[in-house]
């Protein structure tokens, strides 16, 4: 392999359905198309550091070994040499979660109206439907396109009190349709769809941790988590945000 480091970085990119994060020296990859996480082996980890990291030299790895590893990553559709299929390979960056919405101070329980129930039901049914009919990649693409389209029409103006009330309404109503236990992704998607019906578009966050490996999903805006607790989210490092 005679290419320079800059030539390699200008030629190879992450596939659009691939996301990664460095967690304590372990490179975790999320393949949205296959809806699975996996850990990079040492040769693949080195290739990622060369192509997408801040490594300034090619190091001591034999050029042939690196070329073979890049070839394997291409065949697995983890990276691509086609710019039209690519996205920039940078891990997700979010401020650490330091606030939540787990306390509601307005008369204990919010006033729930018929439109709240209807919109929560619609959010639940829509989430179920797209969950059944689409691979996870399709689910996330639909969510991202809607958010981009709606925010292009009208920039979001976050009203904290309104959002906090709607989050609490959602928490009360979701028990009518499903249980939250072990359903962090479905719960987050349903909350996202419920809030979107009111013109509110927070971020859906996928996080990972090691020791042992586990994954978690939550809804966040700025440094505030909308579902779950601070101690839960702070234990995970974001690998993808929408």
- Domains of the chain, residue spans: 5-87, 100-203
Band of the pLDDT at 177, cuts 50, 70, 90?
Answer: very high
pLDDT band at 95 (very low <50, low <70, confident <90, very high): confident
pLDDT in tens, 70-93: 889 999 999 988 877 676 545 557
Radius of gyration in angstroms for the set of CA atoms belonging to the chain, rounded to a whole number:
20
What is residue 241's three-state secondary structure? strand
Give the CA-trace dihedral at 71, 73, 74, 80, to 10 degrees.
Answer: -130
C-alpha distance from residue 100 to each of 68, 167, 185, 186, 224 (Å): 46, 11, 18, 19, 5
- pTM exceeding 0.75: yes
Centre a 10 Å sphere on the Cβ of residue 95 and count the other Cβ atoms it contains: 9
Mean pLDDT taken over the chain: 86
pLDDT at 231 > cutoff 90:
no
- Weakest mean pLDDT among 7-11, 147-151, 171-175, 223-227: 7-11
In this prediction, residue 179 has a pLDDT band, given cuts at 50, 70 and 90, of confident
Question: How many Å apart are CA 12 and CA 152, to the nearest integer?
Answer: 31
pLDDT digits (tens, 9 = 90+) for 115-154: 999 999 999 999 999 999 988 999 999 999 999 998 888 7
Q: What are phi and psi of 226, to 5 degrees?
A: -95, -30
Element holding 133 (H helix, E strand) = helix 114-133
**Biggest CA pair distance of the chain:** 69
| DSSP secondary structure letters along 57-110 | S-TTS-HHHHHHHHHHHHHTTSEES-GGGEE-------PPP-EE-----SSSSP
CA distance 158 to 29: 32
Note the pLDDT of residue 160: 85
């Amino acid at each position: 392999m005679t290419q320079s480091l800059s030539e390699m970085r200008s030629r190879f990119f992450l596939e659009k359905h691939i996301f990664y994060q460095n967690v304590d020296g372990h490179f975790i990859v999320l393949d949205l198309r296959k809806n699975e996480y996996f850990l990079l082996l040492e040769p693949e980890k080195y290739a990622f550091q060369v192509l997408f990291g801040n490594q300034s030299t090619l190091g001591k790895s034999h050029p042939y070994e690196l070329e073979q590893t890049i070839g394997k990553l291409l065949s697995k559709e983890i990276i691509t040499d086609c710019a039209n299929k690519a996205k920039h390979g940078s891990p997700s960056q979010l401020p650490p979660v330091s606030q939540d919405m787990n306390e509601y101070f307005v008369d204990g329980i919010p006033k729930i109206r018929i439109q709240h129930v209807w919109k929560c039901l619609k959010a639940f049914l829509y989430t179920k439907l797209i969950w059944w009919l689409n691979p996870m990649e399709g689910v996330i693409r639909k969510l991202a396109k809607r958010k981009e389209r709606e925010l292009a029409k009208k920039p979001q103006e976050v009203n904290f009190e309104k959002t906090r009330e709607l989050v609490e309404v959602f928490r009360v109503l979701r028990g009518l349709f499903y249980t939250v236990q072990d359903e962090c992704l479905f719960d987050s998607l349903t909350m996202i769809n419920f809030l979107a019906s009111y013109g509110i578009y927070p971020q859906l966050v996928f996080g990972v941790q090691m020791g042992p490996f586990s994954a978690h999903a939550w809804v966040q805006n700025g440094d505030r988590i909308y579902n779950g607790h601070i101690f839960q989210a702070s234990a995970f490092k974001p690998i993808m945000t929408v």
